[in-house]
Structure 1
Amino acid sequence: MITPINRPVALIIGASRGIGRQVAIDLAKNGYAVVVSAKSTTSPSDLAKISPFPPDPNSPQSTITTVAKEITDAGGEAAAIPSDTTKYETIKDLVAKAVEKYGRLDVLIYNSGAIWWAPVSRTPMKRFQLMQRVNVEGLYGAVQECLPYLQKAPQGGRIVVVCPPIYSRFFRGKTAYAIGKVGMSVLVKGLGMDFEREEKEQGAPKGHMAVVGVWPAVAIESAATQQFTRRDPAYAKHLRKPTIFSDAILAMLRAPADVINGQLELDEDFLRKHAGVTDFSKYSVVPGSNPRRIMPAELPDLRVKEQDDEGDRIDSSKL
C-alpha cells in the first residue's frame, strides 16, 4: 500500500521548457511535489554532459529530466514522467505512475499545446488534427484520468488550464488554432458548471473542486517567442518573464474555489485584482521597458439573461 506524501502534488503537463518549466520550479519552491511531463527526456549520459547546468530554459536541451533535476538539486521534490498528449494510453499511464509515485494528486496543470497560426486556406489537415489532439483531446483525456484522484484531494482538487478568454478577435488569422484553444476554454466553463451542480444536487463538499483557465495579458518569453527575438533582438522589450504566469497560478491555487471556478483569467488582471500586485515592472524581460498588452482591456460576459434556465436537461449517460 502506498503512503501518500505529506505535501500537495501537482501534475504539470507541458513542463519541459518556458512557462511550464517555470510553473514547475515555482510550485516546488512553494511546497508542492511536482510531476513534470512532456515528450522530451534526457538520457543519464547526456544529462551528465550538459554544461553549464541548468540549460537555457527555452532550448531543446531543457527537458522534463533537466527540470526535475533543477528542482531536486534545489532541495525540492519532483519526478519526470514522459507522455504524449496525442495518445490517450500514455496519459493514462502518466496519471497512474504519478499516483503510484506519490499516493495522491491535488492539482492538474495543462500547459501542453500545439501552435500553427495561419488562415484556414493555409492550414493543412494534418496541422489541424495535431492541434486538436494535443490541445483539446489531450486536455480532455488528462481531466478524465485525474478527476477521480483530484476529488479525493484532502484540501480539494484544482485544475488549471492554459487557455484564452473567448472573444472574436482571437480567431483572426488563426482559426484552426483557435478552434482547439477555445475548445479548452469551453471545457473550463462547462466543467466549472458541473462542479457547481454536483455541490447543489449531489451534496459534494462546497468548494472542494475548481477549474480555471489562465492566459497571458502580455507576450511571455518562451520557446515560442524566441523566433521573434532571434530575428530582432529588440523584440525582447515586448516580453515578460514567465514568472508572472507562475505567480498568477500560485495565486489561483491559494484563492477560494468560488473566486476561480469556471473563470477564464488573464495573469496580470488576476494578480492585480486578487493578489494586490500593482507594479509589474519586475516581470519585464528588458528592465525599464513597458511591454505592450496583447489582450483586450475588457472581455465579453458569456452569460445570458436566462443563464439558469436549462429547460429539460438530458444526461445521455443515464439514458
Structure 2
Amino acid sequence: MASKQQVALVVGASRGIGRQVAIDLAKNGYTMVVAAKSTSDAYATKPFPPDPNSQQSTVSTVAREIKEAGGQATAIAVDTRDLESVQRMVDETVKLYGHIDVLVYNSGAIWWASVENTPMKRFQLMQRINVEGLYGTIQAALPHFKNQGWKARIITVSPPIYSRFFRGKTAYAMGKVGMSVLTKGLAMDWEREGKIDMAITSIWPASSIESAATLKIQQTDPESVKDLRKPAIYSDAILAMLRAPVADVNGLIDTDEDFLRTHEGVTDFKKYSVVPGATPRRIMPARFPDLTVAEQADEGRRTDSTKITCGESKL
C-alpha cells in the first residue's frame, strides 16, 4: 500500500550515525525503511533501547524505537556486497510503500593503514561495501525513480576530494573517493538529461562523530572523547540538505558543519559536543580544492558505449 508520507530508505541504519539519521527522519514525518546486515528479535532485547553503538542495536531495534515513538518503520536485512540482496531490499521497499523519496547510503567498511599493511581481502571488502554497494543500490533504485517521475534525493557518506585524505589510508580512500566521483558524475547526468527534481549529495563529518569505532579509540586514549560530536549533527545536516533546493545540493560534496553554517546559518555547534563545553578538533581542511578546469564546458566529442557495436570486443 502506497504511503502518503515521503518514504526514506536508510542503508546502514543499525547503529551510530545511521540509526540517528533514521530516527530523526522519522521524527520529521518520513516513513522509514531501515536496512543493514544485522537483525534481531527487537522485543527480546533488554534493556531497551540498547546502546546505539553496541552490537545489540540492529535495524530491528531501530524500527521498534521509531514505531514506539509514533512513527512508521520497517526493517529489512541486506548484504550490500550482494547485488541480489540489494535489489530485493529496494524492490521490497517499493512494494510496501509505493515509492522511495529519499535514499541514504550509510553502509561502510573501514581500515586505515598503509598499502603494505592492507591485505587484498580487506581492500576488496571495502570496495564491495563502499563504492560497489552504493553503485548497486542506486542502480536498483533508478527504475523506480523513473516510474515515479524522476523525483527523489540521494544522500551518500563520502568525502570532499583533497590530497591529505589519501595519507595513511589509501585503500580506504580509493573507495570513498570513488563514491564522491559517483556523486559528481550522476549529478552531471541528471543536469544534462533535464531531471530537475533529482539530486545526489555527499556528506562528511567536519569533526569526529561518536560511534562504535571511536569507542574503541577511547579505550586507549580516554581524552579523545573531547574531540567527538554527537551524531545528531549529521542528521541535522542531512535534513537541511533535503530541505534545500535541488540546484543547491545536486552534486554537492560538503561537511555537516559547513553545510549547516552556510545554508542554515548555524554558528554555535556546542550542543553537538559529546563533552559539554569542549570544542572538538576539526579534522577536515578549512577549504577544499576547486575541481573544475578552465575548459569545463568543452569535453569534445562525447562517446556513449551503449551506442557502439563492439562485436566480439571485450571493451
TM-score range (shorter-chain normalised) is over 0.9
1:174 maps to which residue? 169
User: Aligned partners of 2:243 and 2:219: how far apart in 1?
Assistant: 37
1:224 maps to which residue? 213
User: Aligned partners of 2:146 and 2:220: how far apart in 1?
Assistant: 47
Are 1:183 and 2:183 counterparts? no
Amino acid corresponding to residue 171 of structure 1 in structure 2: F
% identical equivalent positions = 64
Are 1:244 and 2:233 counterparts? yes
Q: Verify the 8 A CA contact 1:151 1:157 in the aligned structure 2.
A: no
Calculate the TM-score normalised by the size of structure 1. 0.94
1:304 maps to which residue? 293
The alignment partner of 1:121 has SS state of coil
Calculate the TM-score normalised by the size of structure 2. 0.96
1:40 maps to which residue? 38
The alignment partner of 1:220 has SS state of coil
1:18 maps to which residue? 16
- 1:31 aligns with one of 29, 32, 42: 29
Q: Verify the 8 A CA contact 1:171 1:178 in the aligned structure 2.
A: yes
Render the CA deviation track for 1:157-205: whole Å, top value 9, x for unaligned.
1000000000010000000000000000000000000010001xxxx4x
- 1:149 shift after superposition: 2.0
Amino acid corresponding to residue 165 of structure 2 in structure 1: F
- 2:140 aligns with one of 145, 148, 159: 145
- 1:48 shift after superposition: 3.3
Render the CA deviation track for 1:278-305: whole Å, top value 9, x for unaligned.
1100000000000000000000010000
Deviates more, 1:186-195 or 1:232-241: 232-241
User: Aligned partners of 1:73 and 1:155: how far apart in 2?
Assistant: 33
Q: Verify the 8 A CA contact 1:19 1:222 in the aligned structure 2.
A: yes
- 1:61 aligns with one of 56, 61, 70: 56
Render the CA deviation track for 1:65-103: whole Å, top value 9, x for unaligned.
000000000000110001001110100010011111111
Q: Verify the 8 A CA contact 1:36 1:64 in the aligned structure 2.
A: yes
- 1:234 shift after superposition: 2.3
Render the CA deviation track for 1:38-69: whole Å, top value 9, x for unaligned.
000003xxx33322210000000000000000
- 1:155 shift after superposition: 8.8
Render the CA deviation track for 1:200-252: whole Å, top value 9, x for unaligned.
xxxx4x3x100000000000001121111222332111000000000000000
Structure 1 gaps, min length 5? none
User: Aligned partners of 2:149 and 2:298: how far apart in 1?
Assistant: 33
Amino acid corresponding to residue 33 of structure 2 in structure 1: V
Are 1:132 and 2:130 counterparts? no
The alignment yields a C-alpha RMSD, in angstroms, of: 1.1
User: Aligned partners of 2:35 and 2:243: how far apart in 1?
Assistant: 23
- 1:151 shift after superposition: 3.8
- 1:156 shift after superposition: 2.2
Are 1:159 and 2:154 counterparts? yes
The alignment partner of 1:293 has SS state of coil
Render the CA deviation track for 1:115-154: whole Å, top value 9, x for unaligned.
0100000100000000000001100000001122234447
User: Aligned partners of 1:62 and 1:27: how far apart in 2?
Assistant: 18
User: Aligned partners of 2:7 and 2:172: how far apart in 1?
Assistant: 31
User: Aligned partners of 1:153 and 1:58: how far apart in 2?
Assistant: 36
Are 1:95 and 2:90 counterparts? yes
Q: Verify the 8 A CA contact 2:237 2:259 in the aligned structure 1.
A: yes
Q: Verify the 8 A CA contact 2:150 2:198 in the aligned structure 1.
A: no
User: Aligned partners of 1:67 and 1:293: how far apart in 2?
Assistant: 29
User: Aligned partners of 2:175 and 2:296: how far apart in 1?
Assistant: 25
Structure 2 gaps, min length 5? 309-315
- 1:265 aligns with one of 227, 230, 254: 254
Q: Verify the 8 A CA contact 1:151 1:209 in the aligned structure 2.
A: no
User: Aligned partners of 1:236 and 1:312: how far apart in 2?
Assistant: 53
1:122 maps to which residue? 117
2:6 maps to which residue? 8
User: Aligned partners of 2:69 and 2:43: how far apart in 1?
Assistant: 17
1:215 maps to which residue? 204
The structure 1 segments of at least 4 consecutive aligned residues displaced by more than 6 Å after TM superposition are none
